[in-house]
Amino acid sequence: GRESLIELVLTEGKNRGIRRLCKALGHEVRSLKRIQYGAYKLGTLAPGEWMEVQPMAHSKDPDHCDRQP
């Protein structure tokens, strides 16, 4: 069958919200991949891997924060 790759941006997560939205539109979700959590971009962080983060400076720009990979 046909497959599509879409990118969605959620500002507020609800339980299974993406799956429910896609189902309502007639699309099956085979997998989801989180690429960012709030201001923290996950980059190449593998499943189960973690990183220490510093408290962020107050900024609306997600690239303007103090992070330690």
Q: What is the pLDDT of residues 16-65, one digit of tens each?
A: 888 999 999 998 898 888 888 888 888 888 889 998 887 766 555 555 55
Distance CA 38, CA 11 (A): 9
pTM equals 0.55
Which residue carries 């085979």 as its tokens?
30
Give strand ranges (E) for the chain. 36-37, 40-41
Distance CA 54, CA 8 (A): 27
Residues paired with 10 in a beta bridge:
none
